Amino acid sequence: MKIIQAIGSLSFLLYLYASIALFGILILFAPLLFFFPGLQYEIARLWARSVLLVLKISCGLEHEIIGLENLPKDNCIILSKHSSTWETISLMTLLPRQTWVIKKEILFFPIFGQLLLFFKPIPIDRNAGKNAVQQIISKGEERLNNGLFVVIFPEGTRTSFPFAGRYGLGGSILSIHSGYPVVPIAHNAGKYWPRNTIIKKRGKITVQIGQAIYTSKEDDPEKISKSVKEWIEKKIVKF
C-alpha cells in the first residue's frame, strides 16, 4: 500500500509541475487577456479543478465542504488555516476572483512568481512589522474595492497539523479599516498532505466555512483575531 501511495504521489507531483507550466503558458501568452479582463482567474480555476481531480485519481484524496451557505456572494476577506499546499489550490475553485497576501520572496520563484503578478497579489516582508500591516491595509483595501476576494493565511506560514501558529492581526485590521467582513475557514488538509513531504495520504479532507464576521471602526483587532483562531482550531480538533 505504501508503495502504491508513493507511486501515486509521485505521479501527482509530476502532473502538478507540468500543469503549472502548461496553464502558465496560457496565462502568459493568451492575447484574449486584453479583450476579456479576468480571464486569468477562469484559467486558474480550471487548473485548480484539474489538480484536485488528478489528486483524487492518483492519491485517493478527495474533500468535502461544509458551510458553503456562509460564504458571502460579495467579496470579502478570507482567513484560512494554513497547514498544507492543498488549501492554496482548492481556494481557487471555491472563490471567483481572488488575490492573496504572500511572502515577497515567492515573486522571485521562476515562472510561478511571474504568473502570480497577473493576480495582483499583496507581497509583504514578514519581518517588516507595522510596515507590512500598512501594506496589507492599503493594497488590501484597493483589491477589495476592485471586487477581489482577499485571502490571508493569518499564521503566515504552513504549520504542522494539528498545531497552531501565531495568528497575525493583518486580516482583522484590514476588515476594520475597509468595512469588508472576515470569513474564517478551517480544514484538516495538513493531515493528508503534510508539509515537507511528497507523500499524500488517502482519505477525505474536511473544509468548514464559518459565518462572516462584520466589523466596525470601534472593534479591537486582537479580539477578532482571537475569535477567528479559537473557531478554526476548535473545528480542526473535531475533524
Residues 71-116: pLDDT tens digits? 999 999 999 999 999 999 999 999 989 999 999 888 888 777 888 8
Res 107: pLDDT:
87
Q: How far apart are CA 140 and CA 77, in angstroms?
A: 9
pLDDT of 137 higher than 80: yes
Q: Which domains does the chain have, with CATH numbers?
A: 62-238 (3.40.1130.10)
pLDDT digits (tens, 9 = 90+) for 7-62: 999 999 999 999 988 888 877 776 566 667 788 898 899 999 999 999 999 999 99
Query: Quick check: 91 and 205 in contact, CB under 8 A?
Result: no
Query: Quick check: 96 and 38 in contact, CB under 8 A?
Result: no
Res 133: pLDDT:
87
N-to-C CA span, the chain: 24
